[in-house]
């Protein structure tokens, strides 16, 4: 019902920046919030940030506060994750996800992910 396409990943040095994009299509009127998650090799998937689609309220995990910024462009049906001051610990596959209902932790649609690699 909602298709998500992530882009913007790549290789960057420590301290560098990347901007990830998540383009949504389909039944986007059903979107309550859009989140970014990441998963590093051998680790569990981790919540990174989320944004309430209609009102723009943002949420961040502590490890990225002050470095990452999530934003949206309603006209483009796109959510961005601006990542600054990147660290090797940020290396992971980053996924965007859509939640239809305002239930914490429940996401209904997932993208395929984009690789972010931060070198020392």
pLDDT for residue 14 is more than 80: yes
DSSP per-residue codes, 85-119? S--GGG-EEEEEEEESSS-TT---EE---EEEEEE
How much is the pLDDT for 105? 85
Cβ neighbours around 19 below 10 Å, total: 14
Mean pLDDT value across residues 108-112: 96
Mean pLDDT value across residues 61-83: 96
Torsion angles phi and psi, residue 64, rounded to 5: -115, -5
Mean pLDDT of the chain: 95
Beta strands in 30-77 (DSSP E): 33-39, 46-52, 58-60, 68-73
- The span from the CA of 55 to the CA of 34, in Å, is 12
Residue pLDDT, tens place only, 25-57: 998 878 899 999 999 999 999 999 999 999 999
């Amino acid at each position: 019902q909602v298709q998500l396409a992530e882009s913007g990943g790549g290789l960057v040095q420590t301290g560098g920046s990347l901007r990830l994009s998540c383009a949504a299509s389909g039944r986007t009127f059903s979107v309550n919030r859009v989140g970014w998650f990441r998963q590093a090799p051998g680790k569990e998937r981790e919540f990174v940030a989320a944004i309430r689609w209609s009102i723009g309220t943002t949420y961040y995990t502590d490890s990225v506060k002050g470095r990452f910024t999530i934003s949206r462009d309603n006209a483009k049906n796109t959510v961005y994750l601006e990542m600054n001051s990147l660290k090797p610990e940020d290396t992971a596959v980053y996924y965007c996800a859509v939640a239809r209902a305002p239930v914490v932790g429940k996401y209904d649609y997932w993208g395929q992910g984009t690789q972010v690699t931060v070198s020392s």
